[in-house]
Structure 1
Amino acid sequence: MVTRDELVGAAAAVSAADGFEAVTIEGLAQDLGVPERDVSEHFPTDESLQLSIVWSGADVFSKAVTEPASGRPEGIERLRALLEHWVDYAESDAYRGGFVGGAADLPDHVRDLIAEIARSWIATLAGHARLAVEQGDLPPGTDPHQVAFEVHGLVQEANWTFGVLGDRDAYNRARRGIRHRIGG
């Protein structure tokens, strides 16, 4: 019997190579040489199988980014730690093959879940920026949502610049931009 984790890993590999639409219960069963019922016992629909890839990616992100930063005081220190871990994660091999860059072209159910997770992440960044303003670590009048937008944009641009242009310094540029924006 194949495990849920094995199925998600195999589904993620198919998705990275061929896109989310290629991830189906039937196709995964064929790829793994197991009966379809072994896959459908864990995932009753193709959609649930596809969404499991996104949730698995969110778990990996949490372990690499949010959990290591959770011990830092809320506000500017936690914001810096979150961003440091995020850039390190984005630069790592663990992130390669990510699907978020082309999220607009994904099936609606996948895109909607990615958008929900991204909104939560941006809200987390903005929340710590707001606390940093309240604690006097960012200038009075600083718009926390603008800070979140800018630092989020720096990491996303680093992903694009590295992935498309092959610029190996992209993540260092993001780190410098983040330090410029929030100090430290």
Structure 2
Amino acid sequence: MSPRKSAAEAHRTRERIVERSVAVASVEGLQGLTIGRLATDLGISKSGLLGHFGTKEILQLAALRHASEVFSRAVWEPASDTEPGLARLRAVCEAWTTYLDRERVTFPGGCLFTTSAVEFDARTPGRVRDAVVKLHQVWRHRLLGDIRHAVVSGELPPATDPDQLVFELTGIFLSLNHTVQLFGDTTAPDRTRRAVERLLG
């Protein structure tokens, strides 16, 4: 086997491990990831799996990064070329709603990017919790940027508190994920759209 082919196969195996890790973690949490479970699911040895990641923590971080990339591709990228401000904020919220309602292949148990915040909010600081915090801070910063732009441009009232608006928007989408996953409520996406519309006017 050529070195190039060997490297390509190793890369594909690593991708399979990460994708399966995200699917499992979306149901059982990042703490629920086990080397033995993943090795069995993928039909590879524990030592082979550890050869790619070394530790459970590194695997958790890889799964979290992948989940964040999926979220960004589904929610941010479709709206990224929209005019900054209220138009882009509305586009992001619509993409976010659709994503939480329909993304089941990658996240059979719900959005890992969303649920990781609940899983790790009370845990002691560490690499995984720190990564969760950082990813959510980046997302909050993106939302704040468009809200502040909308205020400056007059699209939102001058008295708008951007941090408060991000707080309320985040609450709406946490509720959407919870309502869809726990209750299977098919009305939740439309309720979300109405709640967003009341906030953004």
The TM-score normalised by the length of structure 2 is 0.80
In 2 relative to 1, CA 162–131 (structure 1 residues): closer, same or farther, beyond 3 Å? Answer: same
Counterpart of 2:159 in 1: which secondary structure? coil
Determine if the alignment matches structure 1 residue 58 to structure 2 residue 68: yes
- 1:79-158 matched pairs, under 5 angstroms: 79-94=89-104, 95-98=107-110, 99=112, 100-101=114-115, 103-106=117-120, 108-158=126-176
In the other structure, the counterpart of 1:173 is 191
- 1:65-76 matched pairs, under 5 angstroms: 65-76=75-86
Q: Larger relative contact order (C-alpha < 8 A, sep ≥ 6)?
A: 2
Once residues 64 and 193 of structure 2 are traced to their aligned partners in structure 1, the CA distance between those partners, rounded to angstroms, is 26
Identity of aligned residues (%): 38
Report Cα offsets for 1:49-78 as digits up to 9, x if no partner.
011111111011111011111110111111
Indicate if the aligned counterparts of 2:29 and 2:116 stay in contact, CA closer than 8 A.
no
The TM-score normalised by the length of structure 1 is 0.87
Displacement after TM superposition at 1:17 (Å): 4.3
Number of aligned residues:
183
In 2 relative to 1, CA 35–118 (structure 1 residues): closer, same or farther, beyond 3 Å? Answer: same
Indicate if the aligned counterparts of 2:23 and 2:108 stay in contact, CA closer than 8 A.
no
Displacement after TM superposition at 1:15 (Å): 2.4
Unaligned runs of 5+ in 1: none
Unaligned runs of 5+ in 2: 1-8
| CA RMSD after TM alignment | 2.2
